[in-house]
Amino acid sequence: MQSLEGKTALITGGSRGIGLATAKELAKEGVRLGLIGRSEEHLASAEKELKDIGATIVTAAADVADENAAHKAVKTVEQELGGIDILINNAGIAIRGTFAEIPADDWRRGFDVNVMGIVHVTQAALPGMIERNRGDIINISSMSGLKGTKGSSAYSATKFAVIGMSEGLMQEVRPHNIRVSVLTPSLVETDLTRGDAQRDPEKYTQAEDLAEFMVSQLKLEQRTFVKTAAIWATNPF
């Protein structure tokens, strides 16, 4: 397996949950970290936590749905840490409710963050990867991107779009030795999903589980990669 030491990773939604857990795992491998998040407070907390374990880190507060802000954040990371070798598009929001009751503005916001957020950040980071003829992009979709369920029409629509977009991008950038993976986890215990008193959180996939998986796939030799991965809790019932 290849070493990740000395590489630079950019993680969106990097201040909490899956993003922060992944940052911690990458830091253990000697990866320099760029984190993008909306909350300056959460980013500051994450920065302190990661520096305490010896990580080299740069943070940039931005809403990835805003194209200019997203591009500016990517440029900040590149200026401070150099070219981005690993991009993990993790930022996302939940959209809950029946098809008839979800306001159009919520649909738009869902697509702006969950889909266009990936577009904005990836379009900013991709030219450098192409120039260096190497890179890794991991897009976080969801099991809801494979199967729609009652109450998930808007969220599923965004996550289905992530899968289709990732597939097309993967085919385009393979000649540049850039690997594009898409993950479709089922329920992961994070701030976004926490709160169901009837559910035992310890039985569900944890953010750390997903982080460890991503690091292991990034360490595969560059000649091969995991295109898609569906990640489930073993026995949540």
Active centre residues (catalytic) = 155
Measured CA to CA, the distance from residue 226 to residue 235 in angstroms comes to 24
Within 8 A by CB and 6+ apart from 64, the residues are: 12, 36, 70, 73, 91, 113, 116, 117, 118, 120, 121
Measured CA to CA, the distance from residue 56 to residue 137 in angstroms comes to 20
CA angle, residues 225, 231, 234, in degrees to nearest 5: 140
Q: Which residues make beta-bridge pairs with 57?
A: 33
SS3 151: coil
The alpha-carbon radius of gyration of the chain (Å, integer) is 17
Measured CA to CA, the distance from residue 94 to residue 154 in angstroms comes to 9
Which 8-state DSSP code applies to residue 177? T
Strands (E), the chain: 8-12, 32-37, 57-61, 86-89, 135-140, 178-185, 188-189, 205-206, 228-231
Q: Which residues make beta-bridge pairs with 51?
A: none
SS3 143: helix
Give the residue among 62, 46, 50 at the shortest CA–CA distance from 26: 50
